[in-house]
Structure 1
Amino acid sequence: MTKQITVKVVLIVNVKGEVIVDANQIDVWNALNDPEVLKKATPGCKVLNEIAPDSYKAEIVLGIAAVRGEYEAEINIFEKSEPNRYRLVMKADSNMGFLEGNAVVELDYNHPNTTIRYDGEAQVGGLIAGVGQRILSGIAKMIVKDFFKKIAKETKSRSVS
């Protein structure tokens, strides 16, 4: 009799970077805490509902390579130190696998710009993890950078109006 072994692959992906926003720190902070801005900035976000202060449920549809699929996500903001930093925690599940991410987001104001710095990691499991560390790392960095660039764009458009 042959014994079947199941192996679960979980990969760790690190994300770190910065985006410079042509706006003051308070405007950037407000954008990072505005559910409407978060919805617009989150790639593929179709629905974002606040279920408690700083806690959201989201429906996300991604069409990017190995992470293609529909995700149900929970997004939480912790350890707020207004207007300087917070911790962003996200858990997302789909039939392709799961993602659990945790990042510290810091704002540094140097007139006339604010720099958003982020540093975190994500655990990825299921079929998604089967594509490999290098590909997932590239996709994760692209998605995170896109999120913060959209935050910058939304902040700037709100500051101008």
Structure 2
Amino acid sequence: MKVQGEIVVEASQEEVWNALNDPEVLKKATPGCKVLTETEPDSYKADIVIGIAAVRGEYEAEIKIYDKLGPNKYCLAMKADSNMGFLEGNAVVELDYSHPKTTISYEGEAQVGGKIAGVGQRILSGIAKMIVKDFFKKIAKETKARTAM
């Protein structure tokens, strides 16, 4: 399933880029993230609890940021496993600055397997889009909070 969208942040491109690369911000922005541990530069393990319908459960996730072209673009890959199945996804995240705002654009794909896959594509697609949009809204909120300090 495809996931794409954009969100406008009232901050400079550098401030948004820094937030997108800060483990604390990533932890706060990732829905249901209880623990986020950096295993090596730009690679993380996370414990995530999701309470949404068909994907409800506890997940062990691996998150990797790669192909960084700061402060303009990076790629993000995630794999999460639970007793209900797995979620895998990747996305390209791009920043476009137009004073005084930065637009975060994202486009990617996600796949599911196991019991979760039996739910139905439309439902899963809606849930995936909601989770991803929530992540980027939280990135915007955290960036704004950091710039207000």
Instruction: Give the TM-score normalised by the residue count of structure 2.
Output: 0.99
2:9 matches 1:21: yes
Partner Cα distance (2:27, 2:113) in 1: 24
User: 4+ residue runs of structure 1 moved beyond 6 angstroms?
Assistant: none
Partner Cα distance (1:17, 1:129) in 2: 23
Structure 2 residue aligned with 1:6: none
Q: Which amino acid aligns with 2:104?
A: I
Partner Cα distance (2:113, 2:100) in 1: 41
Q: Which amino acid aligns with 2:99?
A: H
State the aligned residue count: 149
Structure 2 residue aligned with 1:61: 49
Which of these residues, 134, 139, 156, is aligned with residue 127 of structure 2?
Answer: 139
The Cα shift of 1:112 comes to 0.4
2:88 matches 1:97: no
Partner Cα distance (2:130, 2:111) in 1: 16
Partner Cα distance (1:139, 1:123) in 2: 12
The Cα shift of 1:133 comes to 0.3
Partner Cα distance (1:108, 1:97) in 2: 36
2:75 matches 1:123: no
Unaligned runs of 5+ in 1: 1-12
Instruction: Give the TM-score normalised by the residue count of structure 1.
Output: 0.92
2:71 matches 1:77: no
The Cα shift of 1:102 comes to 0.5
**Per-residue displacement from partner, 1:105-160 (whole Å, max 9, x unpaired)?**
00000000000000000111111111100000000000000000000000000001
Q: Which amino acid aligns with 1:159?
A: T
Structure 2 residue aligned with 1:5: none
The Cα shift of 1:71 comes to 0.1
- SS of equivalent residue, structure 1 residue 139: helix
Structure 2 residue aligned with 1:46: 34
- SS of equivalent residue, structure 1 residue 23: coil
Aligned-pair identity in percent equals: 79
Note the aligned Cα RMSD (angstroms).
0.3
